[in-house]
Amino acid sequence: MTKHFAKKLRLGKANRKTKWTPIWAVVKKHGQGKRIHPSQMTAQRRHWRRAKLKLKARRAPKSHLG
């Protein structure tokens, strides 16, 4: 697995945590009368300009140790 591909896998996993909640989940949690934005129920906010993901590189084993 190449380094570039591993980064894409980590980004894809992080992207699944940033999706907006479906509208029916908002109704189920807060009731019919509440009008809140679906993004308020997601755990991790993400915007292409404002907030970048803080992903650390995976630790590679030291090659001189065998």
pLDDT digits (tens, 9 = 90+) for 39-50: 888 777 767 777
Termini Cα distance of the chain = 19
Top pLDDT among 32 and 7 is at 32
pTM of the model: 0.44
Q: Which residues make beta-bridge pairs with 47?
A: 51
pLDDT digits (tens, 9 = 90+) for 27-42: 999 998 888 888 888 7
Query: Does the pLDDT value for residue 1 go beyond 80?
Result: no
Distance between CA atoms of residues 62 and 66, nearest Å: 8
